[in-house]
Amino acid sequence: MELVAIKVRIGLDHKGHHRYPAFNALPSGVREGLDWSRFVDKYGGWIYDRKTGHKQADAESPAGYWFGVIIVPELFAAESADLWPDDITVLSQSELSDWYESRVSHDQPEIVDDVEILQAIAAKVQIGLTLDDDDQRALDPDDERRGRRRNTDKRFDGMMQKRGTVISEAAANRVKQKHQQAESRRDRG
């Protein structure tokens, strides 16, 4: 099954609750018989814009809207783009990578420190003990041991590898092309 990333514009209803496209309106087979909220979780769930929300605005995200991305099968992406052309944007892997690193992980640290482990190491140093191999490995951000760890979610490729997800460029291009053809037909009347 080929997966495609779609960026979803999320509005607010009159009570201030999130207003997603009505994905349950898609045929049950497109959602594999699941409620849409469970269906998208099956493929990794939402990746939300962390730069702006409904109350902030910038050039990419107007006030009153928020954006999130879901990675879904090609058919779900195509049907969604057809039904909600103003709310769904199909993203290529490079477009998703740019969006992720500028809107989601832009403020995350490269290295994540486990304070508990680092305090124990600092205490050893303070009382004059020699650091053993385990302590040295805990200070290496590329080692899997608790201590200092490289933040795999900082970079798009690391996040996708951690999720075990691969986006199909060919599928994304097919959905984009089909969507553009449908828009062109609508514009002609």
Q: pLDDT of 102-147, one tens digit each? A: 999 888 899 999 999 999 999 999 999 999 999 999 999 999 889 9
Give pLDDT, residue 118.
Answer: 95
Tell me the pLDDT tens digit for each residue of 145-170.
899 999 888 898 999 998 888 889 99
Give pLDDT, residue 100.
Answer: 93
Give pLDDT, residue 22.
Answer: 93
Work out the pLDDT band at 186, boundaries 50, 70, 90: confident
Instruction: Please answer whether residues 149 and 114 qualify as being in contact, where contact means their C-beta atoms are separated by less than 8 angstroms.
Output: yes
The tokens for 14 are 């009159």
Instruction: Please state the pTM of the whole predicted model.
Output: 0.82
Please tell me the least confidently modeled range out of 23-27, 58-62, 77-81: 58-62
Tell me the pLDDT tens digit for each residue of 88-113.
999 999 999 999 999 998 888 999 99
Residue 55 reports pLDDT greater than 80: no
Residue 189 reports pLDDT greater than 70: no
Give pLDDT, residue 54.
Answer: 66
How far is 42 from 23, CA to CA, in rounded Å? 15
Q: Which residues have CB under 8 Å from 141's CB, separation 6+?
A: 111, 148, 149, 150
The Cα-based distances of 67 to 64, 100, 128, 149, 173 in angstroms read: 10, 11, 52, 29, 21
Q: What does the DSSP 8-state code read for residue 25?
A: G
Helices (H), strands (E): how many in the chain? 7, 7
